[in-house]
């Protein structure tokens, strides 16, 4: 299998080549691109290495973009999520297991499809421990919100506004926020 033009371009740009340099070398064909690659101490001869480097650069860019796009939780939101976290931490371990996480997620206004829930748990479990800490939970909420469509955000906002507040929010919100 040969490298695609987009892979070569992404690889060279990730290795410090400018767009102008790439455009000029591309006009000379594959030999021009190989010479350009060699000028920045890399090669196009190992396709697997090129593809791995492009995939890694793409993943890093997505992670950076995603983190930058996260909206911080307000103090009021942290209080609500702390109360939900404490309420659904049935074994009082200070962490949520899969079942506890599902309940807290739904109660916190998130409406994922059932088939999405296992994958969402894996996303939230940043350290791979099999449980979710409060900080992981808050980070997950930020990531989840960043990926939502405007329609999903509106529906969750309406649900939150018009549905009765859970009893644990009025009783324990202040104490739960102090714990976290």
Please count the structural domains in the chain: 2
* End residue of a domain, out of 68, 86, 115: 68
**Domain match, 136 and 173 both:** yes
**Domain match, 101 and 172 both:** yes
**Domain match, 53 and 133 both:** no
**Domain match, 91 and 149 both:** yes
**How many Cα atoms are found within 13 Å in the side-chain-facing hemisphere of 81?**
22
What end-to-end distance do the CA atoms of the chain give, in Å?
Answer: 53
Q: How far apart are CA 160 and CA 110, in angstroms?
A: 10
Question: What CATH code is carried by the domain that includes residue 135?
Answer: 1.10.238.10
Q: What is the pLDDT along the chain (180 residues), one digit of tens a residue?
A: 588 877 888 888 888 888 889 889 999 988 999 999 999 998 888 888 888 887 777 666 555 445 657 888 889 888 888 888 899 999 999 999 988 998 887 776 677 777 778 888 888 888 878 899 999 898 888 888 777 777 777 877 777 778 777 777 765 444 544 555
**Domain match, 87 and 175 both:** yes
**Domain match, 90 and 34 both:** no
Question: Which pTM does this prediction carry?
Answer: 0.54
Q: How far apart are CA 3 and CA 59, in angstroms?
A: 19
Instruction: Pull the structure tokens for residue 47.
Output: 């396709």
- Residue 82 phi/psi, 5° resolution? -65, -40
**Domain match, 53 and 123 both:** no
Q: How far apart are CA 105 and CA 122, in angstroms?
A: 13
**Domain match, 100 and 169 both:** yes
Note down the domain range covering 50: 5-68
Q: How far apart are CA 96 and CA 120, in angstroms?
A: 13
**Domain match, 82 and 62 both:** no
């Amino acid at each position: 299998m040969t490298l695609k033009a987009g892979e070569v371009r992404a690889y060279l740009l990730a290795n410090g080549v400018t767009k102008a340099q790439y455009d000029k070398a591309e006009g000379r064909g594959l030999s021009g691109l190989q010479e350009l690659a060699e000028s920045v101490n890399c090669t196009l001869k190992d396709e697997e290495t090129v593809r791995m480097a492009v995939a890694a650069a793409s993943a890093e860019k997505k992670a950076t973009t995603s983190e930058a796009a996260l909206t911080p939780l307000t103090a009021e939101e942290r209080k609500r999520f702390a109360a939900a976290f404490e309420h659904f931490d049935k074994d009082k371990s200070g962490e949520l297991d899969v079942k506890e996480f599902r309940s807290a997620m739904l109660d916190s206004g998130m409406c994922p499809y059932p088939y999405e829930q296992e994958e969402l748990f894996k996303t939230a479990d940043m350290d791979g421990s099999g449980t979710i800490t409060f900080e992981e939970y808050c980070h997950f909420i930020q990531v989840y919100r960043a990926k939502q469509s405007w329609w999903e955000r509106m529906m969750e906002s309406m649900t939150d506004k018009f549905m009765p507040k859970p009893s644990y929010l009025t009783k324990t919100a202040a104490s739960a926020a102090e714990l976290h």
